[in-house]
A and B are shown apart, each in its own frame.
Chain A
């Protein structure tokens, strides 16, 4: 089926990337990247430094020319019609500056005027957006006097001035203190609840895991994992180590566990047995019953808490 027709069938896809490539001299930044972001999704885009996150976001936003591939935003090719697409994208870079001698409300009105909002209409819109990001009391303050966290929120408000369909936020919480990160996270959750499609990149994986409905992991310019938040959690659970504490008969328990199907890397020390086991809850219950039937006194039976960081490190090899 023709790619365009096939894409039209997926009307719930806001952003579709296929085979995206970008080369900087001898360095391959993007190597046939594929990605889908559904409408209304808060999509976390994760990868080590140099993996290709910022390059991808800049290509989508029309700031970099791709060397090949396709990018569709709500069914329209962003690479063929970049000027048209800019009305539908709100982009926040990882590093940005502000203008001296402009107040917060004037900064917002400048960007509002770019999109055709003027006069009272523009002022009302800007005041609402400033209020949305909790900067209402700073409306008449010069932007260069704002803290970093406030500037980030202001930039987010600026992204929203033209009511874009897709928000692209490159490390919006970078360099922020915990309170400022929390504030940013709450605003993003509100926007997601309002139905905005948001593509956000970050190194702070726990926060992404908390607020994102889907996560994609990029490595060397390719997507190596893309799944919903629940899918990621299931994957984490299944990959976590099973830890069994026995009061005695440790060696017998280790031998028994090695013989059972689905177990791997069984090892025991100081009454604590660790093994890899990819079974679900029912299989775990059967394994426990096997031990009890052999009169092995089991004191503890649990899955070791694994983290998204651990999964990320495992996937990307980042150390």
Chain B
């Protein structure tokens, strides 16, 4: 099987550097601290009460998942925002683009390499995650779904990082913009939703305000995570309760929140990646090429 040359090169370079090792260390230290502190409190509580509080185990699981997502949102842009801009700064991009390696393959290779690094991070954190199995309450299938979701988050964040890297010449600017975009998606959508809901509650706006609020939130992967965890733990669907609709498009969206949000986010990222490929391709910039009249 032929591996993408860029992917192979990136793996070789990343394992020789110290950066991935340091990231893995910090990632696991943070998770371990959280896990062990919560676990310690569970045990201390059990000493005093004489019984195990299983809801605390569930809380431990939720905290670990949420912190993993937060850490990945910090880590992945740092891994990917220098992908293309770094090649420009190192003056290696022109050589790559003059070769048979297409801009799409360059970007795919860079993204795949970052996802493999994330996979390594996730698997390295499994010992900490396995704390949730000690007292039960969380199934292996839940953890597998969690791992898949983390890879999905890494794909989203990585795509945004690479797109910013293709757009901006400097790695510093690309990194800052990546975090900016993620902030916009994470918090900006929530703010917009709150404003729309306030409009709906306090003014005479119609149902469209709530529908628009729901559609805005579809691009926020945090809502997808919330829905997944909610379904795993309580079997409930938070978005349906949040938007309390019994019919129509709003009901359809909120009752199928997980697939609807994933499809929306994937569509968004697909457009972002296509834009990144166009930015990297030197022949797709500016005005369309016009064939000059040949001289006689």
Question: Could you list which residues of chain A lie within 8 angstroms of chain B, going by C-beta atoms?
Answer: 3, 18-19, 21, 32, 34, 58, 61-70, 79, 82-83, 86-87, 89, 91, 93, 95-102, 106, 110-111, 113-115, 118, 155, 158, 162
- Chain A residues near B5: list those with CB within 8 A: 110, 113-114
**A118 close to B92 (CB less than 8 A):** no
Whether the pair B90, A86 counts as a contact (CB closer than 8 A) is no
Contact A91 B98 (CB under 8 A): yes
Q: Contacts of A111 on B, CB cut-off 8 Å?
A: 99
Residue contact A62 to B292, C-beta cutoff 8 Å: no
B interface residues, tally (CB under 8 Å):
30
| Contact call B13/A101, Cβ cutoff below 8 A | yes
Query: Which of B102, B292, B293 has the largest number of chain A CB atoms within 10 A?
Result: B292
Binding site for A on B (CB under 8 A): 2, 5, 8-9, 12-13, 16-17, 90-92, 94-95, 97-102, 282-283, 285-286, 289-295
In the complex, the answer to whether A62 meets B283 with C-beta atoms within 8 Å is: yes
Q: Quote the shortest CB–CB distance from A146 to chain B (angstroms).
A: 15
Looking at A3, A18, A101, A114, the one whose CB has the most chain B CB atoms below 10 A away is A114
Q: Is the CB of B9 within 8 A of A19?
A: no
Query: A123 vs B100: C-alpha distance in the bound complex, in angstroms?
Result: 19
Please tell me if the beta carbons of A91 and B92 are within 8 angstroms of each other in the complex: no
Do A99 and B13 form a contact, CB below 8 Å, given A19-B294, A64-B282?
yes
Contact of A79 among B95, B289, B295 (CB under 8 A): B289
Known: A61-B98, A62-B97, A97-B91. 6 other contacts (CB 8 A): A3-B294, A18-B294, A19-B295, A68-B293, A97-B90, A100-B13
**Is B100 touching A97 in the complex (CB atoms < 8 A)?**
no
| Pairwise interchain contact B283-A86, C-beta atoms closer than 8 A | no
Contact indicator A96/B94 (Cβ below 8 Å)? yes
A89 — which chain B residues lie within 8 A by C-beta? 98
Residues of A within 8 A of B90 (CB): 97-99
In the complex, the answer to whether A101 meets B16 with C-beta atoms within 8 Å is yes
Known: A19-B293, A70-B294, A110-B8. A65 touches B283 (CB 8 A): yes
Give min CB distance, B3 to chain A, whole Å: 8
Give the residue of A96, A106, A114 whose beta carbon is less than 8 angstroms from that of B12.
A106
Complex A-B: 5 CB contacts under 8 Å: A19-B294, A63-B97, A79-B291, A83-B100, A96-B91
Contacts of A91 in B (CB 8 A): 94-95, 98
Minimum CB–CB distance for A159 against chain B, Å = 9
Q: With a CB–CB cut-off of 8 A, which chain A residues contact B2?
A: 118
Distance of A114 Cα from B292 Cα, bound (Å): 33
Contact across chains for B94 and A63 when beta carbons are under 8 A apart: yes
Question: Using Cβ atoms and an 8 Å threshold, which residues of chain B touch A63?
Answer: 94, 97-98, 282
Please, which residues of chain A bring their CB within 8 A of the CB of B12? 101-102, 106
Q: Kindly state the separation between the CA atoms of A96 and B97 in the bound complex, as whole angstroms.
A: 13
Task: Please give the distance in Å from A34's CB to the nearest CB on chain B.
Answer: 7
Q: Given A3-B294, A99-B13, A101-B12, is A93 in contact with B94 using a C-beta cutoff of 8 Å?
A: yes
Residue of B nearest to A80 (CB): B291
Task: Chain B residues near A21: list those with CB within 8 A.
Answer: 292
Q: Is B91's CB under 8 angstroms from A162's CB?
A: no
How far in angstroms is the closest Cβ of chain A from B166? Answer: 15
Closest to B88 in A: A97
Contact B17 A97 (CB under 8 A): no
Residues of A within 8 A of B95 (CB): 91, 93, 96, 155, 158
Partner of A65 from the list B16, B98, B101, B282 (CB cut-off 8 Å) is B282
